[in-house]
Amino acid sequence: MKKEPSVELKKLAAFMGMPFTAEEEKEGVVEEIVKLCSFENLSSLEVNKGGGGGQKFTAKVVVENQEFFRKGEVGDWKNHLTEEMKDRIDNITNDKLKGSGLTLGLTK
């Protein structure tokens, strides 16, 4: 996604049965969606900057919105997850994407 976001977005749209039309591509719709979904844009939204808008996952676990955005850098997981946690997430992701044609350049 980070290397070629427009290419990956088009693959995702096609996978979901909603491919972009030639007119949409010509009008820059793909690039606009990439821009709106960029780390820079999402992390700068007011709702994601401060506390008070946390997401409740269980009765005891609340994650503040600003915690969803860290550095936006490939490999930053090493500062937050153990190798075992990373492997577990990779296995779940591979299992869920199996047969979809979608692949991820999973972490090393």
Query: Which is more confidently placed, 100 or 53?
Result: 100
Spatial CB neighbours of 65, under 8 Å, sequence gap ≥ 6: 47, 48, 49, 50, 51, 53, 54, 55
Query: What percentage of residues in the chain have a pLDDT greater than 90?
Result: 40
Strands (E), 16-98: 55-56, 62-63
Ranking 12-26, 33-47, 48-62, 86-100 by mean pLDDT, the lowest is: 48-62
Residue 79's pLDDT is what? Answer: 85
Instruction: Look at residue 40 and tell me whether its pLDDT is greater than 80.
Output: yes
Region 53-67: mean pLDDT is 63
- pTM for this structure? 0.56
